[in-house]
Amino acid sequence: MILQLRNSYVSRYGTPSVFSVDTNIFVKRYFTHCMQCGFCQDSCCSFGVDVDINNVQRIEAHAEALEKYVGIQREDWFRRDFEADKEFPGGNYTRTQVINGACAFLNRKGRGCLIHSFCLQNGIDYHELKPMVSCLFPVTFDDGLLHPANDVDTNILICLGDGPTLYRGVRSEILYYFGHDLVLELDEIENCILQKRESL
């Protein structure tokens, strides 16, 4: 079910904005603690990820150190084409390259995102470099709607079914990008849904 929110909530970057929510984010569940997972082999990193042009520039500002850390030349990190999209900061986005079946930034010697671990090792807030779409996954945004990512709707996300709800899994990320007021309203919606389900 799609619910209209009381307000339009603008991200810290000025775009995107969200003004409606798919209530499935409060119902569907997944194994939230990614790095504790022993069964997925980082399958959600098989397709690369959308990255806004401003984020690409922030990553490229660390290119020399990050190139050594990742072990893949910077020329191979991103697709060369950018697409216009007003929902992405800077109005354009591209996508990370898929190399040998996985995102260029996937840790092939261990687990997880090398952008994330690079930030942690260098005292950088991972939000500065890690793409917003990655941080919010498995929740995403389109045309003002906060909703489950396509991997959830098509049931290809291997870790679906057990654990916290999608919303609880990324609540702190929604708070970071969209602020306290949105999370407060989403908490209210979540509470109403839980009460209705308990009364059935």
**What is the residue-wise DSSP string for 51-101?**
EEHHHHHHHHTTHHHHHHHH-S-GGGSB-S--EE-TTSGGGEEEEBPEETT
Sheet holding 83-84, edge to edge: 50-52, 92-95, 83-84
Tokens of 75: 């020329």
pLDDT computed for residue 87 by the predictor: 95
Per DSSP, the three-state class of 157 is coil
Residue 110, classed as helix, strand or coil, is coil
Is the previous residue joined to 148 through a cis bond, with omega within 30 degrees of 0?
Answer: no
For residues 112 and 101, what is the distance between their CA atoms, to the nearest angstrom? 15
pLDDT, tens digit (0-9, with 9 covering 90-100), for 33-78: 665 556 666 666 678 999 999 999 999 999 999 999 999 999 999 9
Q: Which helix (H) or strand (E) holds 139?
A: strand 139-142
Q: pLDDT per residue over 175-192, tens digit each?
A: 999 999 999 999 999 999
* pTM flag (> 0.75): yes
73: left (phi over 0), alpha (psi -120 to 50) or beta: beta
